[in-house]
Amino acid sequence: MIRRRAFDVAVEHHGGYLIQACSSADILATLYVELMQLGPGADNLVPPRFNGTPGTGVPEHWGGVYNGPDQPTYDRFILSPSHYATAVYAALIETGRLSSDALTDYNADGTTLEMIGAEHSPGIEVTGGSLGQALSVGVGRAMWRKRAGHTGKIWVLISDGETQEGQTWEALQAAAAFGLDNLRVLIDVNGWQVDGPMESVMPVGCLRDKAAAFGCDAVEVDGHDPAAICAAVLSADRGKPLVIACITDPTTGFPALKERDDAQTHFVRFRPGEAEEYRRSSPLLVGVGR
């Protein structure tokens, strides 16, 4: 359903971040449904309109409330690559944390449901659109929670492209140094970035091995297998940050994505009639009329 919602958004808005939803849908579903202890979400399932950036004097909204109360006993979820926002909005809808028609406002002027989320957007806790920075914020939160003895954990989803930024490794280095076993980092290893396959743009090698070398408890799992993701969390080492490299296929649910030109995949815009082909060939949409 996360994938279908992202597809509808991409069709309706003449373009969208579809492959990100296709690769991360099972990770997000597993996090929201099985793993995170979030507590109740926002009272108002209909997100408010944009009413100012932080510090501008108007009561501003924080998207984190959709992920539950900001209290030391509850977990927090930080989405780092903010261009994945559509997938998070869809996950919130599917878990009853956001009204089911919220996406009709998607990316409209003056809405908080922006294409690239900021921390006023539902479910977005840190403004992460300049990639490779939000993991450090998660490290800071986890660091204090560990020192203060708070039980709520910090979950951070990052993209594989973000591992090209040096700051990602500075963050893991610090997380390991402080033994942050309350920090769980999931990497959506979809192998993709704007210019095409990561291998052709700037290879990053084996992320599990790299994270392990940085002192993390690092595992690699099939990112479309919720049981495997849960098992990795259950068997995590004490005293180390956990890094789960989730190997994913960004064409999951829409095999027609495989046929796209490399430079047209990161952000999918349909030619006239193309969306129909996608619908016809998608196993997600068999028997679904529209």
Partner 1 sequence: MTVTEFVERPFAKALVDYAGRNERVVCVTNDLTKSVEADLFRETFPDRYFSLGMAEQNLAGVLSGLAREGLEPVYPSFSVFATRRPYEQILLNIAYPNLPVRLIGFLPGITTPGGVTHQANDDVALMRGMPNMTVLSLADATDVETLTGVLAEIDGPVFCRSPRGNVPRLFDDPLRFGHARRLSSGSDLTVISSGATTEHSIRACAAIGDAGISVSHLNVSTLKPFTDELVIETLANGAPVITAENHLRSGGLGTAVAELIADHGLGARLHRVGIRDTFTHGGRPEYLFAHYEIDDVAIVNAANELLGSSVQFESTVAGGPRRTTLAASVNEGL
Binding site for Mg ion (CB under 5 A): 159-161, 190, 192
The answer to whether 188 contacts partner 1 (rule: CB under 8 A) is no
Partner from Mg ion, partner 1, ligand TPP, none binding residue 202, C-beta < 5-8 Å depending on class: partner 1
> In whole angstroms, how close is the CB of 82 to ligand TPP at the nearest point?
8
266 binding ligand TPP? (CB under 6 A): yes
Residue 118 binding partner per list partner 1, Mg ion, ligand TPP, none, with a CB distance cut-off of 5 to 8 Å that depends on partner kind: partner 1
Q: Which does 81 bind (CB under 5 to 8 A by kind): ligand TPP, partner 1, Mg ion, none?
A: ligand TPP
Backbone dihedral region of 107: left (phi > 0), alpha (psi from -120 to 50 degrees) or beta?
left
Q: Is 223 in the site for ligand TPP (CB under 6 A)?
A: no
110 makes contact with partner 1 (CB under 8 A): yes
- Give the helix/strand (H/E) hosting 217: strand 217-222
Query: How far is it, in rounded angstroms, from Cα 19 to Cα 242?
Result: 25
Q: At what angle do helices 18-30 and 85-94 cross, to 10 degrees?
A: 40
Query: Which residues fall within 8 angstroms of residue 247, CB to CB, at 6 or more apart?
Result: 189, 220, 221, 222, 223
Cα gap 120→122, rounded to integer Å: 7
How far apart (Å, rounded) are the C-alpha atoms in residues 198 and 203? 6
Helix (H/G/I), strand (E/B), else coil: 151? coil
- Tokens for 93? 């809808």
241 binds, among partner 1, Mg ion, ligand TPP, none (CB under 5 to 8 A by kind): none
Q: Taking the alpha carbons of 80, 84, 89, 92 in that order, is the dihedral positive or negative?
A: negative
Query: Is residue 44 within 8 Å of residue 139, measured between CB atoms?
Result: no
Task: Enter the DSSP assignment of 64.
Answer: G
Q: Which stretch binds ligand TPP (CB under 6 A): 103-111, 142-150, 153-161, 241-249?
A: 153-161
Smallest gap, in angstroms, from Cβ of residue 189 to Mg ion?
7
Q: How far apart are CA 70 and CA 5, in angstroms?
A: 28
Q: Kindly state the smallest distance separating residue 25's Cβ from ligand TPP, in Å.
A: 13
Smallest distance from Mg ion to CB 80, Å: 12
Instruction: Convert residues 70-99 into a mask of x (bound to ligand TPP by CB under 6 A) and - (unbound).
Output: -----------x-x----------------
The residue count for binding ligand TPP (CB under 6 A) is: 16
- What radius of gyration do the chain's Cα atoms show? 18
Which residues lie closer than 8 Å to 264 by C-beta, 6 or more apart?
A: none
* Binding-site member from 35, 42, 102, 115 for partner 1 (CB under 8 A): 115
**Token reading at 226:** 């919720």
Binding mask 254-273 for partner 1 (x = CB under 8 A): ---------x--xx-x----
Query: Under the rule (CB under 8 A), what is the footprint of partner 1?
Result: 14-15, 50, 53-54, 56, 82-83, 107, 109-110, 114-118, 120, 127-132, 161-162, 164-166, 193-195, 198, 200-202, 263, 266-267, 269
Residues that bind ligand TPP (CB under 6 A): 20, 81, 83, 129-132, 159-162, 190, 192-194, 266
